[in-house]
Structure 1
């Protein structure tokens, strides 16, 4: 879900490279078609607005049994200094990411293989302390808080999350190029691996969480070590 660009597309490509039958969803048909051409393999697309409950239900009604569900639906609203944070913008952030991921998971339950897996894509802002990210921390933290209890409640279905750091994907296209590059350079300078992430880095983590049948209830950081306490 949310597989027509960025992390979702790279994850779909990783599964397709294994020979899996992959379905990607997205709101824009042109972007879906372009992603399908890049991914190849046994991959099909389904145009769906993840904020539309009816569309979610219609997708699963025709999906058949799903072995592994990856929910990469995201949004850009909810960031900024807390003193200036518009509550409508924060609500829009929840509407774009938190509620769609929860609704998708709930709608998917009758259609998931009993011992299959669900991997949510959150963000390291959930447990970081960067100024201007309190809203993002709230919505991503809410998703991450659900992972352990759901893993127990829904067992043997496995529930995990991958929590990326700063990843160079189209999510950042809303930031002017020069400003974006300066931000990436600054993050790389204080990150142990010395760079920002690529969508393929996160895709490998997602693939591992789905493939390893002995992992559940885990939120896996994929940050290049940027979340580690360094004293800086």
Structure 2
């Protein structure tokens, strides 16, 4: 879900490379078709808005049995200094990421293999302490808090999440090029891995969680070590 670009597309490509039959979803037919062509293999695209509850329910009802579900639905609303944080914008952020991920998981449950897997994509802002990210922390933290109890409640279905740090994907296209480069260079200089992440880095983490049948209830950081207390 959310597989027409960025992390979702990279994850779909990782599964397709294993010979899996992959279905990606997204709101734009044009972007879906382009992503399907890039991914190749046994990949198809389904136009779907994860914010549309009826469309989500119909998608799963018509789609047949599923082995693994990756929910990469995201949004950008909800950031900014807390004193000036527009609460309507924060609600929009929940509507764009938290509620769609919960809605998708709930609708998918009857169609998922009993011992299959679900991987949610959250963000490192959930456990970071950067000024201006309290709203994002609330959205992503809410999703992450659900992972352990869901892993117990829905077992043997495995529930995990990947929590990416700063990843160079089209999500950042909204930031002017020079400003984005300065931000990435600054982060790379203080991150143990020495760079910002790539979509393929997160895709490998997603693939591992889906493939490893002895891992559940985990929120896996994929940050290049940016979340570590290095003292710098």
TM-score range, shorter chain: over 0.9
**CA apart distance, 1:5:** 0.1
**CA apart distance, 1:84:** 1.0
Q: Distance in 2 between matches of 1:159 and 1:94?
A: 20
Which structure 2 residues correspond to residues 34-45 of structure 1 after superposition, within 5 A?
Answer: 34-45=34-45
Which structure 2 residues correspond to residues 1-232 of structure 1 after superposition, within 5 A?
Answer: 1-232=1-232
Q: Distance in 2 between matches of 1:229 and 1:152?
A: 31
**CA apart distance, 1:98:** 0.1
SS at match of 1:62: helix
| Per-residue Cα deviation, 1:93-112 (whole angstroms, up to 9, x for no partner) | 00000000000000000000
Q: Distance in 1 between matches of 2:90 and 2:79?
A: 8
Q: Distance in 1 between matches of 2:169 and 2:124?
A: 15
Hey, which bits of structure 1, 4+ residues long, moved more than 2 A? none
**CA apart distance, 1:63:** 1.0
Count, aligned residues? 232
Q: Distance in 2 between matches of 1:7 and 1:24?
A: 12
Q: Distance in 2 between matches of 1:210 and 1:27?
A: 25
Instruction: Tell me the TM-score normalised to structure 2 length.
Output: 1.00
Q: Distance in 2 between matches of 1:92 and 1:77?
A: 6
**CA apart distance, 1:231:** 1.5
Q: Distance in 2 between matches of 1:209 and 1:217?
A: 10
| Per-residue Cα deviation, 1:117-159 (whole angstroms, up to 9, x for no partner) | 0000000000000011000000000000000000000000000
Give the superposed CA RMSD: 0.4
Q: Distance in 1 between matches of 2:180 and 2:95?
A: 25
| Per-residue Cα deviation, 1:183-231 (whole angstroms, up to 9, x for no partner) | 0001101000100000000000000000000000000000000000111
Q: Distance in 2 between matches of 1:62 and 1:45?
A: 14
SS at match of 1:221: strand
| Unmatched tracts of structure 1, length 5 or more | none
| Unmatched tracts of structure 2, length 5 or more | none
Q: Distance in 1 between matches of 2:214 and 2:65?
A: 21
